[in-house]
Amino acid sequence: MIAGKWKPLILYFLLQGPNRYGALKRAVRCVSDKVLIQQLKELESDGVVLRTDHKEVPPRVDYTLTPLGRSLAEALEPLCIWGVENMDAVARVLADREAWKQGPSG
């Protein structure tokens, strides 16, 4: 259910209340549109996220947690708080790791 790099953070931000796609995209800063959409669809398919299309123009879609999703998000909350507080540092570590894997240039 939570396999996926961004799913715990998505659940954490939805624990704060209903969110639209744009708000989630801004909250989970480093995720691509493709991956965010895919992970939201998987969470919906797993029964932890509810997607509500209001059938309006312009389009308005809200994402909320189901009761199952809320209990899962509450269990993950301490880990997600750490991730949010350290997102920039983790991004630097991952970038350094990637540079190290590629070895010296030249």
Of the candidate CATH numbers 3.40.190.10, 1.10.10.10, 3.40.50.620, 1.20.120.1200, the domain formed by 7-101 belongs to: 1.10.10.10
The pLDDT tens digits for 8-24 are 989 999 999 999 999 99
Residue 19 or 84, more confident: 19
Q: Quick check: 81 pLDDT over 80?
A: yes
At 4 the pLDDT is 83
Residue of 70, 94, 68, 90 lying closest to 13 (CA atoms)? 70
Instruction: Round the CA-based radius of gyration of the chain to a whole number and report it.
Output: 16
Band the pLDDT of 26: cuts 50, 70, 90: very high
Nearest to 33 by CA among 22, 44, 43, 45: 22
Domains of the chain by residue range? 7-101
For residue range 34-77, list pLDDT tens digits in order.
999 999 999 999 999 999 999 989 889 999 999 999 999 999 98
pTM: 0.77
